[in-house]
Structure 1
Amino acid sequence: MAPNVVLVTGVADQLGGRLANRLAENPGIERVLGVDTRPPAPGLSPRVEPVAVDIRDARIGKVISTANVDTVVHAAPRASIGPLRSAIKERNVIGTMQLLAACQRSPRVSKLVVKSSAEVYGASPSSPAVFTEQDPLAGGRDREAAEIEAYVRGFSRRRPDVVTTTVRLAELIGPGVDTALARYFRLPVVPTVLGFDARVQLLHPQDAVDVLERAVLCDLPGVFNAGGDGVILLSQAIRRAGRVPLPMPRAAIPAAARLVRGAAPVHFSADLSRLLNYGRVIDTTQLKTTFGFAPKWSTSDAFDDYVRTAHKEMST
Structure 2
Amino acid sequence: MAGRRVLITGISEQIPGKLARALEQRDDVEYVAGVDVRAPHDDLRHTEFIRADIRNPIVTRVITATGVDTVVHAGVATAPGSVGGRARMKEHNVIGTMQLLAACQKADALRTVVIKSSTAVYGSDHSDPALFTEGATPRATPRSGFAKDVTEVEGYARSFGRRRPDVTVTILRFANFIGGGVDSLFARYFALPLVPTIAGYDPRLQFCHGDDALAVMERATVEDRPGIYNVAGAGVLYLSQAIRLAGRVPAPVLLPFATIAGNLVRRTGRLDFSPEQLRFLQYGRAVDVTKLRRNFGSVPRYSTREAFQDYLAHRRIRKVAPSPTQAWDRELYDFLQRRAAAASANQTGSTGEDR
Aligned residue number for residue 86 of structure 1: 87
The verdict on how the C-alpha distance between 1:313 and 1:47 changes in structure 2, with shifts beyond 3 A counting, is farther
Deviates more, 1:152-161 or 1:242-251: 242-251
In 1, the alpha carbon distance for the partners of 2:17 and 2:279 equals: 29
Aligned residue number for residue 124 of structure 1: 125
Percent of pairs identical after alignment? Answer: 46
The verdict on how the C-alpha distance between 1:33 and 1:180 changes in structure 2, with shifts beyond 3 A counting, is same
Unaligned ranges ≥5, structure 2: 321-355
C-alpha contact (below 8 Å) 1:2/1:218 kept by paired residues:
no
Map 1:199-218 → 2, pairs under 5 A? 199-218=204-223
In 1, the alpha carbon distance for the partners of 2:182 and 2:289 equals: 22
Cα displacement (A) at 1:249: 1.2
The verdict on how the C-alpha distance between 1:291 and 1:153 changes in structure 2, with shifts beyond 3 A counting, is same
Larger radius of gyration: 2
**Is 1:293 aligned with 2:298?**
yes
**Is 1:158 aligned with 2:160?**
no
1:139 paired residue among 123, 134, 141: 141
Deviates more, 1:217-226 or 1:176-185: 176-185
C-alpha contact (below 8 Å) 1:258/1:266 kept by paired residues:
no
**Structure (1/2) with the larger helix percentage:** 2
Q: Residues 287-306 of structure 1: CA distance to partner in whole angstroms, max 9, x if unpaired?
A: 00000000001100111111
In 2, the alpha carbon distance for the partners of 1:115 and 1:65 equals: 22
Cα displacement (A) at 1:2: 8.0
Aligned residue number for residue 280 of structure 1: 285
Aligned residue number for residue 47 of structure 1: 46
TM-score (norm 1): 0.94
In 2, the alpha carbon distance for the partners of 1:48 and 1:314 equals: 35
C-alpha contact (below 8 Å) 1:115/1:166 kept by paired residues:
yes
Cα displacement (A) at 1:127: 1.3
In 2, the alpha carbon distance for the partners of 1:245 and 1:22 equals: 39
In 2, the alpha carbon distance for the partners of 1:136 and 1:241 equals: 33
Aligned structure 1 segments of 4 or more residues deviating by more than 4 angstroms: 257-260
Aligned residue number for residue 12 of structure 1: 12
Deviates more, 1:160-169 or 1:248-257: 248-257
Aligned residue number for residue 104 of structure 1: 105
Measured on the aligned residues, the alpha-carbon RMSD in Å equals: 2.0
Q: Residues 181-208 of structure 1: CA distance to partner in whole angstroms, max 9, x if unpaired?
A: 2211111111211111100100001100
Q: Which amino acid aligns with 1:284?
A: V
Aligned residue number for residue 25 of structure 1: 25
Q: Residues 75-106 of structure 1: CA distance to partner in whole angstroms, max 9, x if unpaired?
A: 00121434612112111100100110111101
The verdict on how the C-alpha distance between 1:72 and 1:127 changes in structure 2, with shifts beyond 3 A counting, is same
Count of residue pairs the alignment pairs up: 314
C-alpha contact (below 8 Å) 2:205/2:285 kept by paired residues:
yes
1:289 match: secondary structure: helix
Larger RCO of the pair (alpha carbons < 8 Å, separation 6+) = 1
Cα displacement (A) at 1:309: 1.7
Q: Which amino acid aligns with 1:73?
A: V
C-alpha contact (below 8 Å) 1:254/1:267 kept by paired residues:
no
C-alpha contact (below 8 Å) 2:2/2:30 kept by paired residues:
no
Q: Which amino acid aligns with 1:314?
A: R
Cα displacement (A) at 1:139: 2.4
